[in-house]
Structure 1
């Protein structure tokens, strides 16, 4: 299987949808379905769940599977679906990736294991074992700020050569030299997605396939329009949207993701802004910054603001 069709399809603005909770801390399935439908209606090209924004380390394996299956059922083929299936535990990663294939996900996003700090050879063996166990396309999720280890380009190149179903990477990596070298070494058809909000537009310019931006949770239409503008050759519009979104990108990362995102969605009346411990809501000062930014960008009005 060459995965050429998948490489053509899996492009655009992929929203890493948050996992909403009720006040009692249970998964709010009704709200989750509403969020996915809103994303699709707003123009997002793809949906991801149980990535960083979905608080996967706060979910049980059974809960992660439930979120994945409910998302797949709700999407119903309208856009592509790439759930996060990685974990700090190898066997759990295998189980969740096989489950993503079982329910018919378009690809699985597998994070570089966090906390463990594996060396590069161990990373290679982990990802190769996972990739060899399934036929579903695999997108590496490289996020050194959270995992405390960076997958080096040489390791990524080995994996792209040895595992045909490893077709791309989400780079939450602020080192722009590194992401340039990913495409140079892994091939220009290797799918490169930005996971850094301020690099969403720049990565398109070097041949990126799109982005997986937490900001899309709050402003899906404009985040998707940025990709559409670039894809249509309207560089001026893409640049304008890049700079227009910067204040929102900045404020949504004033505290650990997805805390400010959930605050924003709460103010918009979309969710109950609840996180599971050990994560918690940001300070009152940051919450006020979020509110002001939403008002300044006309995402909220004084009349519609909640809380």
Structure 2
């Protein structure tokens, strides 16, 4: 797939699917496949796994490969497939990114290495080596709140210029000045995705290619529809949906993602709401807020209890 074509294919709502676990913390692959099918049936434009919402840092490399392989086979080319392949370890990231290519993924999303706090030149060398190791498109993933370092717009532009297969960046970055500068320096044909729920609509307005929103785990149809309305020129409709979704977006981040999303999916009967340690389900108070919000969106019935 030509990289310019990939830029057009990877537009819209890319759903960052959670990884369901059983009570013994083993992966529930049956529920995982059901979630992917539900996402596609609900109109999500692409599927991503083993990103932040998928709890990849709690998995072994072998488990991540298994999750990626299962997702790739389940998607089966119905929509583009974009696994997260980044880790805090360079060699492991190389391994997972090459594995993504070998299993037939349409692209790979690579997070800024967390905990290490590399400088900008080190980040450039890391990402360039990853991009040079494969022939599939790469989408960078900048989430400074989790990684403790920001991938600067100038660094992204340098990578985009030197690596033709780096086609975009997911910006889980509340600095809206920064995300504007990404398109300024990289060009407006560079794919910019919002990873901040309240910025999904504003990023479309400045030329973004879509969003990779954790809220899609709970309301995939609405999150996809936000992009559909914008793309169709229904600006008022997109604005209305932006504000309509705010309460749900807020409650899904009352605790560390994906704990609230998994709690919500548990109440919706989609999964058993288990997380791997060191994460855990939210407090009873937050669970109550989640239940009340789901009721207000008619995502659950009154008989659902905490």
TM-score, normalization by structure 2:
0.99
**Secondary structure in 2 aligned to 1:4?**
helix
Tell me, which stretches of 5 or more residues in structure 1 are unaligned?
Answer: none
Shift, 1:297, TM fit: 1.2
The residue number in structure 2 matching 1:19 is 19
The residue number in structure 1 matching 2:196 is 196
Shift, 1:129, TM fit: 0.5
- The answer on whether the counterparts of 1:269 and 1:306 sit within 8 Å (CA) in structure 2 is no
1:1-307 mapped onto 2 (5 Å cutoff): 3-303=3-303, 305=304, 307=306
Shift, 1:306, TM fit: 5.4
**Secondary structure in 1 aligned to 2:245?**
helix
- The answer on whether the counterparts of 1:83 and 1:108 sit within 8 Å (CA) in structure 2 is yes
Distance 2:40 2:134 in 1: 28
- The answer on whether the counterparts of 1:2 and 1:164 sit within 8 Å (CA) in structure 2 is no
**Secondary structure in 1 aligned to 2:184?**
helix
Shift, 1:24, TM fit: 1.0
Shift, 1:242, TM fit: 0.4
- The answer on whether the counterparts of 1:14 and 1:213 sit within 8 Å (CA) in structure 2 is yes
Distance 1:306 1:109 in 2: 37
Distance 2:3 2:269 in 1: 40
- For the aligned residues, what is the CA RMSD? 0.9
**Secondary structure in 2 aligned to 1:223?**
helix
Tell me, which stretches of 5 or more residues in structure 2 are unaligned?
Answer: none
Shift, 1:39, TM fit: 0.3
Distance 2:118 2:109 in 1: 18
Distance 2:301 2:244 in 1: 18
Shift, 1:2, TM fit: 5.3
CA-to-partner distance for each residue in 1:110-163, whole Å, 9 max, x for gaps? 000000000001000000001011111000000000000000111111100111
TM-score, normalization by structure 1:
0.98
Distance 2:301 2:13 in 1: 26
Aligned length: 306
- The answer on whether the counterparts of 1:112 and 1:123 sit within 8 Å (CA) in structure 2 is yes
- The answer on whether the counterparts of 1:266 and 1:306 sit within 8 Å (CA) in structure 2 is no
Distance 1:299 1:198 in 2: 20
Distance 1:134 1:223 in 2: 31
**Secondary structure in 2 aligned to 1:14?**
strand
- The answer on whether the counterparts of 1:268 and 1:306 sit within 8 Å (CA) in structure 2 is no
Shift, 1:23, TM fit: 1.0
Distance 2:89 2:144 in 1: 17
Distance 2:56 2:69 in 1: 14
**Secondary structure in 2 aligned to 1:6?**
helix
**Secondary structure in 2 aligned to 1:207?**
coil
Shift, 1:300, TM fit: 1.2
- The answer on whether the counterparts of 1:11 and 1:45 sit within 8 Å (CA) in structure 2 is yes
- The answer on whether the counterparts of 1:53 and 1:258 sit within 8 Å (CA) in structure 2 is yes
Distance 2:133 2:219 in 1: 37
**Secondary structure in 2 aligned to 1:80?**
coil
